[in-house]
Structure 1
Amino acid sequence: MINFRYHVVSLTAVFLALAIGLVVGTAALNGPVADSLRENVNLLRKDNQQMRQSVNNLQKELDSEEDFAAEIAQVVLPGKLTGKRVLVLSLPSGRQHTDGVVKMLDLAGADVTARVELQEKFINPDNNSNLMELAVTAARPTAPASGLPGNGHGVETSSALLASVLLDRAAGAAPVSEPDRRSVLGAYSSAGYLTTDDRVTKSAEAVVLVSGQPYVDKDSVKKDESVVKVAEQFDRTGSIVVGGNGSAGGNVVAVVRGDPVLAQAISTVDNANTVQGQLVTTLALVQQLTEKKAGHYGVGDSAAAILPKLPQ
């Protein structure tokens, strides 16, 4: 049987071994190992400083490019859209850079007929049935429901109705009356599907759809599909440029560029979240209205060029 003295001796041996290990380890660390660790720390510190400096330099370059774009816009934009009536339609994902887009349109002399902001509720697939019903109840004599898509997609049907009161009608078609336009917009605004300013007094001949990154939640596929439906319906009625942020994933810029039919009709800009992209968005609209031509611009891999060729 193991007695108490054996336990004492065993524990003493264990603690003695630990003490010897600490002494030996400390001595080793004070030698080449410590020097090596110290050198590695210094190298990492230098790398970190260099990376921080690189980030600062890149930010300065970006700021300079943005300043340059703002300055060059003062030269190339004035008069380019004089007399052109333009609707600005923004999605929740593009709200932060809508003001910049409007600023460039104003600089080009565009008559911004309205700023309409679609709310998240409009894109939410849970509201599909409600949007279908609202499109029917909100319709008016000069904006009837008879010509709206009837395939059961609420965003598509409601977008078609909104496009019919916000954009010009086809040649020969009767225009929407002002009371009917106000009534349709009021119905969607009261239900929380959109907000708009007070200057919607006439229709537009073109629309800039301001969007952003693709959705990433559990309903992302359906929401991204709904955004594309909005673009498609407004494209059926007038010229359209999508000013977006990025060209990957399921966002509307990526989908349009990947669709051979939509790509021929809808212009896209993948960096409208920057001053440069907001300038290019306006130039793309000039191209749409003067040349009747769609183009795809920005810095993404799927862009055809940074900006359209300016007319001589």
Structure 2
Amino acid sequence: MINFRYHVVSLTAVFLALAIGLVVGTAALNGPVADSLKENVNALRKDNQQMRQTVNSLQKELDREEDFAAESAQVFLPGKLTGRRVLVLDLPSGRDHTEGVVKMLQLAGANVSRVDVQDKFINPDSTTNNNLLELAVTAARPNSVSTANLPGNGHGVETSSALLASVLLDRPQGSPQITDADRRAVLQAYTTAGYLTPQDKISRPAEAVVLVSGQPYVDKDSAKKDESVVKIAEQFDRTGAIVVGGMGSVGGNVVAVVRGDPVLSQSISTVDDANTVQGQFVTALALLQQLTEKKAGQYGVGDNAAGGLLPKLPQ
């Protein structure tokens, strides 16, 4: 039988072992191990400081570049788009940088009208599609726009975009002209239904459009939403000059799709950094190129920006 003395001896041995371990461990930590840990901590602290300095330096460099672009725009843009009528359509994904694009166009002298496209317009569900078709074909369509001039494929976004392009942009010579009353009625119909939100009074058609977009959608309906945005660009491209001011050039966003399409890239200009001052400046330059040279180009910082950072405009 194990007696009380055995328990005392066992417990004493355990506590003695713990004491010896603490002494040995402390001695070891106070020696080479402790020195090594201190060196590693100091090295990590220095690396962190260097990285913080690098980030601050890059931020200052970016700020200087944006200041340079803003000052360059003040010198180059005034008067370049005087009297030009420009429609700015902006998507929810690009709304944060729409104001910057508008300011550059106005600095150039353009008469800008802005219309916000709501998420509801590019919603891929069947109800939205049917409602957009109904608006385009029957409820909102004026008699001056024949159904023969609208897509007949049952795609609500595409058909409505075609109707809106017909009433918001200049129509070809010889085509029935849209009255101001019809133009207001069409816009009001889409506004009342929650598809569009005009930010300016639109009394005249535009001669060009800037579509302000953002990065690709990432939800479960992302592919269909990106497709809808491309449909908008395609239909406005059929009627007038168009520049897409976007953010990024990979994935399924409209900038990436246009650049990857050998047909669309010949008529639609894209700028992949319109979320920056530089890109907003270039968006105005790209529109100037569209209107004066009838030429499209792909600009920005992406690998697929075939035109480089900005258009080469004639003096």
Alignment of 1:20-169 (within 5 A): 20-112=20-112, 114-126=113-125, 127-136=128-137, 137-169=139-171
| 8 Å contact kept, 2:169–2:207 | yes
CA shift digits 1:130-162 (9 cap, x unpaired): 222222221111234342112122111111111
Label 1:248 to 1:14 Cα distance change in 2 as closer, same or farther (>3 A): farther
Label 1:10 to 1:88 Cα distance change in 2 as closer, same or farther (>3 A): same
Alpha-carbon distance, 1:80 to partner = 1.1
Of 294, 297, 312, which aligns to 1:309?
312
* Alignment partner, residue 248 of structure 1: 250
* Structure 2: distance between partners of 1:155 and 1:48: 50
Output the amino acid matched with 2:141. A
| 8 Å contact kept, 1:145–1:161 | no
Output the amino acid matched with 1:77. L
| 8 Å contact kept, 2:120–2:195 | yes
Alpha-carbon distance, 1:26 to partner = 1.6
Alpha-carbon distance, 1:172 to partner = 1.0
**Does the residue aligned with 1:125 lie in a helix, a strand or coil?**
coil
Label 1:2 to 1:145 Cα distance change in 2 as closer, same or farther (>3 A): farther
Q: Give the aligned length.
A: 311
Of 243, 250, 259, which aligns to 1:257?
259
| 8 Å contact kept, 1:119–1:192 | yes
Q: Percent identity?
A: 79
Alpha-carbon distance, 1:9 to partner = 4.6
Alpha-carbon distance, 1:165 to partner = 0.8
Q: Which runs of 5+ in 2 are unaligned?
A: none
TM-score scaled by structure 2? 0.94
| 8 Å contact kept, 2:116–2:199 | no
**Does the residue aligned with 2:209 lie in a helix, a strand or coil?**
strand
CA shift digits 1:258-294 (9 cap, x unpaired): 1111111100001111111111000001111111110
* Structure 1: distance between partners of 2:168 and 2:212: 16
Q: Which runs of 5+ in 1 are unaligned?
A: none
Output the amino acid matched with 1:307. L
**Does the residue aligned with 2:211 lie in a helix, a strand or coil?**
strand
Label 1:24 to 1:183 Cα distance change in 2 as closer, same or farther (>3 A): same
| 8 Å contact kept, 2:97–2:274 | yes
* Alignment partner, residue 277 of structure 1: 279
Alpha-carbon distance, 1:129 to partner = 2.3
* Alignment partner, residue 214 of structure 1: 216
Label 1:265 to 1:11 Cα distance change in 2 as closer, same or farther (>3 A): farther
Alpha-carbon distance, 1:95 to partner = 0.6
Of 274, 293, 296, which aligns to 1:294?
296
* Structure 2: distance between partners of 1:160 and 1:123: 14
Of 243, 267, 270, which aligns to 1:268?
270
**Does the residue aligned with 2:42 lie in a helix, a strand or coil?**
helix
**Does the residue aligned with 1:241 lie in a helix, a strand or coil?**
strand
Alpha-carbon distance, 1:7 to partner = 5.5
